[in-house]
Amino acid sequence: QSALTQPASVSGSPGQSITISCTGTSSDVGAYNFVSWYQQHPGKAPKLIIYDVSNRPSGVPDRFSGSKSGNTASLTVSGLQAEDEADYFCVSYTGRTNLDVIFGGGTKLTVL
């Protein structure tokens, strides 16, 4: 497999929680605890928000959390805020020399 599967879009109201899934295989997401999540606003560079499945870089609010079960990783955003509206994509390490990482297609989060 050369790609991870994400829903095209999710939405929620301010204060609510949403979860974005990222499905891979036993050769990537299921094999390694090296799944990361990124936030990207239009015209901006991607920003790392979760790494190694569930770790948050410094400065990322604890409203963002990550988890993994089998071949599916998930990003949960709690207490939605207007500024959370953005594209989110997942990445998994594969351990393959000719395909170091694979990307999800991205999910558009709309804050209603």
Partner 1 sequence: EVQLVESGGGLVQPGGSLRLSCAASGFTFSDYWMNWVRQAPGKRLEWVANVNEDGSVKKYVDSVRGRFTISRDNAENSLYLEMNSLRVEDTAVYYCAKAKTAGTFDYWGQGTLATVSS
Please give the residue ranges that form the binding site for partner 1 (CB under 8 A): 3, 32, 34-36, 38, 44-48, 51-52, 57, 89, 91-94, 97-106
Q: In whole angstroms, how far apart are CA 70 and each of 24, 31, 41, 51, 91?
A: 9, 9, 29, 17, 15
Place of tokens 């709690």: 78
Query: Whose Cβ is closer to partner 1: residue 17's or residue 55's?
Result: 55
Report the nearest approach of partner 1 to the CB of residue 12 (Å): 23
Q: Residue 39 forms beta bridges with which residues?
A: 47, 88
Report the nearest approach of partner 1 to the CB of residue 14 (Å): 28
Report the nearest approach of partner 1 to the CB of residue 6 (Å): 9
Query: Whose Cβ is closer to partner 1: residue 50's or residue 80's?
Result: 50
Query: Whose Cβ is closer to partner 1: residue 102's or residue 111's?
Result: 102
What's the token pair of residue 57? 């870089």
Q: How many helices (H) and strands (E) does the chain have?
A: 0, 9
Report the nearest approach of partner 1 to the CB of residue 1 (Å): 13
SS3 at position 82: helix
